Amino acid sequence: MNRLIFDIETIPANKSEKELIEGLAKRKKENAFRNTGLDGNFGRIFCIGYIKEPPISDQSDIIKGNEKDILIEFWKIARDVDIFIGHNVMDFDLKFIYKRSVVHGVKPSRDLNFARYRSEPIYDTMREWENWSMGSATSLDTLAKIFGFKTSKDDMCGSEVYDKYLEKKYDEIYKYCKKDVELTRKIYYKMNFLPL
């Protein structure tokens, strides 16, 4: 079984779209642009961290570059994947990836079904931990603490990605993304009683 454990880091839309976004927001314009980093309609993927197994590995890699090239590479890697694993991937990462793929005309190599209440072909560690209880959302950091794993948030957290991007501290973002992937792998293994 081929597994792809992954995480994305996102940034807001291009500055050229700021006026359009603020116009669509109508109210609370001051945060409208920045918040597009959480919305695949206008936000952009900065990088995708991943581990593809087999072979078994606890070391992640990163896909970086322009967004279209990131998506092309992601779908190449995903071509033969049986199970996509991540934390909050059902409601964020995969939907973001799909939307941005359509925007860029990058056809996904896999047609994924986003049906709820099952663990294949998408295994969402957040949803599985909560047994699909809507309204409950245990963070990756909290799961790390529950299981006694080192947090991936020791140097930075997701809310700092755009500021690091503006400061051109790209390597810090890549490192953070990779740590999230490696932690997600540990959590997936723990939840499925697999040896680490």
Stated pTM of the model: 0.92
Domain ranges of the chain: 3-191
138-193 pLDDT, tens digit each: 999 999 999 999 988 888 888 899 999 999 999 999 999 999 999 999 999 999 99
pLDDT band per the 50, 70, 90 thresholds, residue 131: confident
CATH class of this structure's domain 3-191? alpha beta
Q: Is the dihedral of CA 41, 12, 184, 52 positive or negative?
A: positive
Smallest CA-to-CA distance from 33 within 155, 166, 140 is with: 166
